[in-house]
Amino acid sequence: MNAIPAQEVAGHCLQAFTQIVPASQAAFYCVDRQLQARDFRLHQMSGEMHRDYLDNYRQFDPLQPRNCQSSGLAVVPLGFAMARQPSRDSRRYRDFLQRYGVVDVVEILAHRSGQPQAAISLLRTAAQGAFTADQLAQLSALQALLQMAVANMQPFEDSLSGLTPKERQIALLLRQGASNKQLALELDVGLPTIKTHLINLFRKTGVTSRTELVGALFL
């Protein structure tokens, strides 16, 4: 069987999970060897919230891959994860979630060789309420499908390991032929910011054009 691109796996998994267990927002992401989330695919989540998370609150997230891995669970509810970290960190993360109207989160992980390889994060607002025990049981059953999908996913490109999460996202979109305007819409930033990211990418990879960048990273 041919390996499936991560973005294709992300799209199918997000659609399936959110149809069976409704969520206000969701994200699919890959996990690198340092147990850092990267290459996010967002579903109904604003770019503003995602940037705020990456820039200011990722370190307080009780559901980041390292914490989920140590829990020993493949489906990790927010309340369970918060109880395992310092209360001060949990309060700061709860404040972040409340700012965007989120009342509950659950993380579903898929592993390869005992290490997290990818995960789905499902978020709910007050309109939907917290995840019920029955819904968590449904997600535990669905986790096997996520595991199967990730087992057939293309391995991560080591060439991207030196890039920031935003730079990796831009590089992956460039591989799909995205224009600067499309990049700006996808990342919810202005064109000058995209140009700055591209300059940094060119400098890091030693290239001078978008075509050379894609060739250096993916060919």
102-128 per-position pLDDT tens digit:
999 999 999 988 889 999 999 999 999
Collapsed DSSP state (helix, strand, coil) of residue 124:
strand
Write out the two tokens for 49: 């919230």
Mean pLDDT computed over 176-193: 90
Mean of pLDDT over the chain: 90
Q: How confident is the model at residue 2 (pLDDT cuts 50, 70, 90)?
A: low
Instruction: Give the DSSP H/E element, type plus range, for residue 58.
Output: none
Write out the two tokens for 132: 């019920």
Third-level CATH fold of 159-218: Arc Repressor Mutant, subunit A (1.10.10)
Please, which residues bridge with residue 37 across strands? 31
pLDDT reading at 148 higher than 80: yes
Torsion of CA 117, 123, 128, 130, to 10 degrees: 80
What per-residue string of b and e applies to 175-206 under the rule 16 or more CB within 10 Å gives b? beebeeeebbeebebeeeebeebbeebbeebe
pLDDT of residue 106: 98
Q: What is the pLDDT of residues 62-83, one digit of tens each?
A: 999 999 999 999 999 999 999 9
- Domain 6-156 and domain 159-218, same fold? Reply is no
Write out the two tokens for 72: 């020993």
pLDDT reading at 144 higher than 90: yes
pLDDT of residue 128: 95
Q: Report domain extents, the chain.
A: 6-156, 159-218
pLDDT reading at 166 higher than 70: yes
**CB-hemisphere CA count at 13 Å for 145?**
15
pLDDT of residue 181: 92
Q: Kindly report the CATH class assigned to 6-156.
A: alpha beta
In this predicted model, which residue has the larger pLDDT, 217 or 1? 217
